[in-house]
Structure 1
Amino acid sequence: MVSNNMQTSLSKLMSKILRHSPEKFGLLLDSVDGSCAVADLLDVLRAQTKWSELSVSDMEEVVERCEKQRFEIIGDRIRARYGHSHDKVSYPSGVPPMVLYHGTNVQAAPKILNQGLHRMQRQYVHLSEGLHFATLAGKRRGELIILSIDTAKALSAGIKFYYAGNEVWLADTVPAEFCSLYEAGGANRSESATD
C-alpha cells in the first residue's frame, strides 16, 4: 500500500500516460476504448525509477481511491474514463438524468450562458449527475459557479449524451439555451452576459 502523497503522484502519472501521452511512454492504447492491458501499464510504470517496486494492487488502490474516478479496470484492462487528448474514445450514448451539472468559474459562466458549452481542447464537454464532481472540476478553475443542464430539452433537440461511468456524462456540445445557473435551494435561472 502506498501513502496518500504517493497515490496522488501515481494518479497524476497514470493520467499523463493514459490520458495525454501514451506514445511517449511506449504504450499503445486501444483505438476504440482507450484501454491497455493492466500488465502493460504496470511495466511502463515500473520502468520509472520511483515506481520500480509498484504492484498491481497499488494501481488498483489508486483506481479505487481516486476521488474523481478517473480510471476504470475491466477484467485485465485499464483506461482513463475521460479527458483524453489523443485518439477520441467512444462511449455509449444514453439518456441521462433530467438535470446534469457543470462546474466552471465566474469568468467563464457568462460566456457559457451566451454561447453554450464547448469541448475546447478536450474530446467532450464533461457533465455530472451530482454536485460533488461538478464542484471538484469547477473549483480548480477559480471562484466556483455551478451550471445546470436541462437534458430533457437538450435530448428532444437532438443533443447526444454519452455515459462515461461513475456519474459522469459527456456531450460534444451543449447549446446555451439548455444551460442555467444553479442556485442551491432555489430555482435555476438562465442569464446572459447582457442581463
Structure 2
Amino acid sequence: MRLTKISKFLSLILRHRPEAIGLRLDQAGWVNISELIERAYQSGVRMTSEQLRQVVATSNKQRFSISADGTRIRANQGHSTPVNLGLQAMVPPEMLYHGTSIRSLKAIRNEGIRRGGRNHVHLSQDEAMARDVGRRHGPPVVLTIMAREMADAGFSFYRSVNGIWLTEWVPTIYISFPPERS
C-alpha cells in the first residue's frame, strides 16, 4: 500500500505540480532524485531512494523512468506541465485503443478525444490495457482508433518509452464507437 501512495505522489509531482513541493522539472521533465526525496520529506511525504526505485521497477504501467546515470527521474507521459520528452514522430499501427467511461461518450461523440489538461491523448496498442484505463471511472468503454488513417491524413503520433501512443487530438471520424446501449 505504501508503494501505491508513493506512486500517486510521484504522478502528481512529476506530471502536474512539481511546484507544490518547490521543484522545477527541466525541459525534458527530469528532476534530481535526491532533491525530490528531500523536498518530499520537507512537505511531509516520507520515501527512501529504495522505495522510489521499487515503484519505478515494479509499476505495471511503467509511468516513470530513471536516467541512465541513476540520478534523475521523470514521468514517461501524462504531463499537464510543458515538457519536451524528446519523442520522435512515428507511424502508428493500423488500430489503437482508447479506454474511457460511459459518461464521457457523449462529449467524445461530439468533439472527438481531446487531451483535456494533458499534453497528449493517450492510446494503447492493447485492448485490455485500454479497458483497464476506462475502468478507473466506472464501467469501461473501449474505442477503436483508426490510427494509420489519422497518420496518413497528417496527424502526428509518438510512442512513449512504456509503449503508450500519444497524439494531440482524435477527431470523431477516426473513432469506431461501440453500439449505443438502449
User: Does TM, normalized by the shorter one, top 0.5?
Assistant: yes
- Structure 1 unaligned runs (5+)? 183-190
Letter in 2 for 1:135: R
Q: How does 1:61-80 map to 2 (within 5 A)?
A: 61-75=54-68, 76-80=71-75
Alignment match, 1:146: 142
Contact 1:15 1:80 in 2 (8 A): yes
Using structure 1 for the length normalisation, give the TM-score.
0.82
Q: How does 1:26-41 map to 2 (within 5 A)?
A: 26-31=22-27, 33-41=28-36
Letter in 2 for 1:102: H
Contact 1:20 1:85 in 2 (8 A): yes
Q: How does 1:92-171 map to 2 (within 5 A)?
A: 92-171=88-167
SS at match of 1:95: coil
What's the % identity of the aligned pairs?
Answer: 36
Q: Which has the higher strand share?
A: 1
* Cα 1:144–1:125 shift into 2, 3 Å: same
SS at match of 1:146: strand
Contact 1:19 1:80 in 2 (8 A): yes
* Cα 1:113–1:6 shift into 2, 3 Å: same
Alignment counterpart, residue 8 of structure 1, candidates 4, 12, 22 = 4
SS at match of 1:30: coil
SS at match of 1:108: helix
Structure 1 distance, partners of 2:103, 2:43, is: 39
Aligned length, in residue pairs? 178
| Shift of residue 121, structure 1, vs aligned partner | 1.7
Letter in 1 for 2:122: H
Contact 1:68 1:133 in 2 (8 A): no
SS at match of 2:57: helix
SS at match of 2:98: strand
Structure 2 distance, partners of 1:89, 1:135, is: 28
Structure 1 distance, partners of 2:151, 2:130, is: 20
Task: Please list the CA deviations of residues 93-135 of structure 1 after superposition, one character each: whole Å capped at 9, or x if unmatched.
Answer: 2122221110012232243244321112221111111123312
Task: Please list the CA deviations of residues 54-108 of structure 1 after superposition, one character each: whole Å capped at 9, or x if unmatched.
Answer: 3322111101222322111122221011221222444322122221110012232
Alignment match, 2:53: 60
